[in-house]
Amino acid sequence: MIKEFNINIPVNLQGITLRKYQSWIKILNKYQESKSTDENFLKIKMLQTFCDLSIEDTNKIPLHSFDNVINHINKMFNEEFDKHIPTFTLVDAKDVSIEFGMIPKLDDLTFGEYVDVDKYINTVDTWHQAMAVLFRPKTRIIGDKYQVEEYEGSAKFSEHMLDAPIDVVLGAMSFMGRLQNQLLKLTQASSLQMAVKAVELVSNPISETSTDGFNQFTLWLKKMQVKSMMQ
C-alpha cells in the first residue's frame, strides 16, 4: 500500500519566487558546465527547488506523481511568460503588505536609475536589484494611477524583490529588453541620417542661420553615446 504523500506544487508562475528561480538557474548552469547527461538529477533538483522537498521526501514520491509534477513545471516555463505586470503585493517580515508598482513613466527615469538597471538587468543573479530599481512602493494612488517612492538605491528593496513572483519578474525583464532593443534600433537607424547631416555641417561653415544643422549634429552625438552605453 502506497502511503499518501502531499506535495506543495506551484499552480502557476505566480507561485514561484525570484529567489527560487535564481537557485534553479545556478543549478542548471552548473549542470550544463559539467556536461552531465543525468536528467534524473535535474528532475530531482527541480522538485527540491520549486516544491520545497528534501532529498528524502523526493525519493518517496510515487513514480506517476513524480513524472506528473515534472511535466507540470516544465509546461509552466514553456508557456508565454512575457506579459507585463505593472503591480504586485508582498508581505514583509512584519506581516505588513506592501504594494509595489513599476515606475509609471519610464520617460522620467533618472540617469542614476538607468545606469543601475543597465548594470543589473543582464544577469539573473542580480535581477532582484534590477527589480528594486524598476518597482517601488506605491504612493498617491488615485484609481489606477499612482506614483512610486523616490529612488534611494537598489539596496533598499532588493531583499524584498527576492520574493517577487517570477511571472512579474520575467515580464519586467522582457519588457525592458524589448525597450532596449527598440532604442538601439532607433539609434542605429537615426545615426546614419545624423551622420549625413554631420558631413554637411562640416562642409558648410556654421552661421546664425544654420543652427538647425548644429542641433542635429549634437543630437547625433548624444544618441551615439546612448548606443555605446548599451553595448
Looking at 14-28, 95-109, 115-129, 214-228, which range is the least confident one? 214-228
The pLDDT assigned to 226 comes to 39
Q: How confident is the model at residue 78 (pLDDT cuts 50, 70, 90)?
A: confident
| pLDDT at residue 216 tops 80 | no
| Any domain includes 21 | yes
Are residue 199 and residue 162 in the same domain, yes or no?
A: no
CB 88 within 8 A of CB 44: no
The pLDDT assigned to 205 comes to 40
* CA distances from residue 69 to 10, 48, 57, 166 in whole angstroms, order as listed: 10, 12, 14, 18
The pLDDT assigned to 164 comes to 97
CA distance 10 to 14: 8
Q: Which of 140, 168, 136, 139 is nearest to 153 (CA)?
A: 136
Are residue 186 and residue 170 in the same domain, yes or no?
A: no
Phi, psi angles (nearest 5°) of residue 10: -65, 130
Average pLDDT, the chain: 79
Using the 3D structure, point to which of 78, 97, 128 is the last residue of a domain: 78
Are residue 168 and residue 189 in the same domain, yes or no?
A: no
Q: Where are the alpha helices (DSSP H) in 37-165?
A: 39-50, 55-60, 63-78, 111-120, 127-134, 158-161
Q: pTM of the predicted model, to two decimals?
A: 0.75
Q: Which of 126, 107, 115 is nearest to 26 (CA)?
A: 126
| Any domain includes 5 | no
pLDDT, mean of residues 31-39: 88
Number of domains in the chain: 3
Are residue 119 and residue 41 in the same domain, yes or no?
A: no
Are residue 226 and residue 159 in the same domain, yes or no?
A: no
| Any domain includes 6 | no
| Any domain includes 154 | yes
The pLDDT assigned to 215 comes to 41
Domain hosting residue 133, numbered range:
87-174
| Any domain includes 4 | no
Are residue 163 and residue 145 in the same domain, yes or no?
A: yes
Are residue 122 and residue 196 in the same domain, yes or no?
A: no
Written as nine digits, the cell of 57 is 521526501
Are residue 91 and residue 169 in the same domain, yes or no?
A: yes
| Any domain includes 8 | no
Written as nine digits, the cell of 134 is 524598476
| Any domain includes 143 | yes
Are residue 130 and residue 66 in the same domain, yes or no?
A: no
Are residue 70 and residue 95 in the same domain, yes or no?
A: no
Using the 3D structure, point to which of 174, 193, 211 is the last residue of a domain: 174
Are residue 116 and residue 157 in the same domain, yes or no?
A: yes
Are residue 72 and residue 96 in the same domain, yes or no?
A: no
Using the 3D structure, point to which of 55, 78, 101 is the last residue of a domain: 78
* CA distances from residue 31 to 27, 45, 91 in whole angstroms, order as listed: 6, 11, 33
| Any domain includes 1 | no
The pLDDT assigned to 105 comes to 85
pLDDT in tens, 121-170: 989 999 999 999 999 999 988 888 899 999 999 999 999 999 999 999 99
